[in-house]
């Protein structure tokens, strides 16, 4: 099952990211993982949060451009070669990864993948014996 990430477009200027995190903190929204990509004019923040719908709503109320996107999340061992093993499944299945990011838990690492066809990719990987994490499981790590 895919999880939802919140994507937010930010103007690339001092204080904008802090404004975003302040809005989330004010509404008790916990950021579990975050990735920031930027260009000269804007940035894209991609986050996993404890409440995707609330985060998206409060950000829009504060005039941020925010949406949620399905992504795949997999737990891997925090050991050398674990990511390589997971990526082999994607490669063998001819699944193209558009982007990915990670975060560390207490014992394991968690990889987040955006692919061009989430449902098809998940079906293929499930048939190979892999199980993606649910939104609830990510909230518990």
Specify the pLDDT at position 20: 96
Q: DSSP states of 56-104 as a string?
A: HHHHHHTT-EEEEEEEEEEEEESSTTHHHHHHHHHHHTTPPEEEEEEEE
- Residue 130 is predicted with a pLDDT of 83
Can you tell me whether residue 52 is helix, strand or coil?
helix
- Does the pLDDT value for residue 106 go beyond 90? no
- Which homologous superfamily does the CATH classification assign to the domain defined by 3-69? VC0802-like (3.30.2130.10)
Contact predicate 24/32, CB 8 Å: no
pLDDT number for residue 79: 86
Q: How much is the pLDDT for 34?
A: 94
- pTM, two decimals, is 0.86
pLDDT at residue 4 tops 80: yes
Does the pLDDT value for residue 61 go beyond 90? Answer: yes
Domain boundaries, the chain: 3-69, 71-140
Q: Mean pLDDT, the chain, as a whole number? A: 90
Q: What is the pLDDT of residue 29?
A: 95
Q: Which CATH class is domain 71-140?
A: alpha beta
Buried b or exposed e, range 7-20, using 16+ CB within 10 angstroms:
bbebeeeeeebeeb
Please provide the distance, in angstroms rounded to a whole number, between the alpha carbons at the two ends of the chain: 17
Interval 64-105: pLDDT, tens: 999 999 999 998 888 899 899 999 989 988 999 999 999 888
Same fold for the pair 3-69 and 71-140: yes
| CA 72-75-81 angle, 5° bins | 110
């Amino acid at each position: 099952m895919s999880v939802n990430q919140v994507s937010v477009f930010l103007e690339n200027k001092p204080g904008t990211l802090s404004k975003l995190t302040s809005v989330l903190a004010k509404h008790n929204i916990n950021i579990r993982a975050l990735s920031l990509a930027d260009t000269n004019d804007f940035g894209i923040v991609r986050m996993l949060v404890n409440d995707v719908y609330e985060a998206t709503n409060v950000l829009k109320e504060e005039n941020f451009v925010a949406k949620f996107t399905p992504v795949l999340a997999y737990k891997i061992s925090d050991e050398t070669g674990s990511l390589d093993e997971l990526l082999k499944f994607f490669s063998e299945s001819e699944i193209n990864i558009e982007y990915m990011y990670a975060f560390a838990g207490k014992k394991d690492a968690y990889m987040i993948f955006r692919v061009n066809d989430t449902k098809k990719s998940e079906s293929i990987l499930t048939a190979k014996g892999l199980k993606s994490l649910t939104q609830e499981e990510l909230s518990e790590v």
